[in-house]
């Protein structure tokens, strides 16, 4: 699910943001699990969003929230979970 989340984040800028108003979303840090062959219960990511305009920044923040709260859940998963916490350094 973490990989799918990252892919969905990248579509925020490519599909929702005007190319004339540059913006970027970066997953700079990702940590999950303790062993390579054990599926972790949680994954922590540090995401950076950069934009020139406040409108672009708002589009990105809304897109990140929407993506985090509505993850694609496989049919084999019994319960979706989307604990989500965001810190905005500019507020």
- Mean pLDDT, 10 residues at a time, the chain of 91 residues: 86 88 91 88 89 92 85 46 56 49
Q: Is residue 56 part of a domain?
A: yes
| 3 located within any domain | yes
Q: Which domain holds residue 82?
A: 1-10+22-33+42-91
Radius of gyration of the chain (CA): 14
| Residue 88 confidence (pLDDT) | 59
Q: What does the block give as tokens for 28?
A: 């700079």
pLDDT of residue 76: 42
Residue 49 lies in a domain: yes
Angle at CA of residue 69, ends 87 and 90, nearest 5° = 20
Residue 44 DSSP SS3 = strand
Domain total in the chain: 1
Q: Is the pTM of this model over 0.85?
A: no
Asked if the structure places residue 15 within a domain, the reply is no
């Amino acid at each position: 699910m973490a990989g799918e989340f990252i892919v969905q984040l990248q579509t925020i800028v490519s599909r929702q943001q005007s190319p004339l108003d540059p913006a970027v979303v970066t997953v700079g840090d990702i940590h999950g699990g303790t062993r390579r062959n054990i599926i972790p219960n949680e994954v922590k990511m540090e995401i950076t969003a950069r934009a020139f305009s406040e409108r672009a920044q708002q589009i990105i923040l809304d897109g990140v929230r929407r993506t985090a709260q509505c993850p694609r859940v496989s049919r084999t998963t019994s319960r979706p979970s989307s604990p989500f916490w965001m810190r905005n350094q500019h507020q």
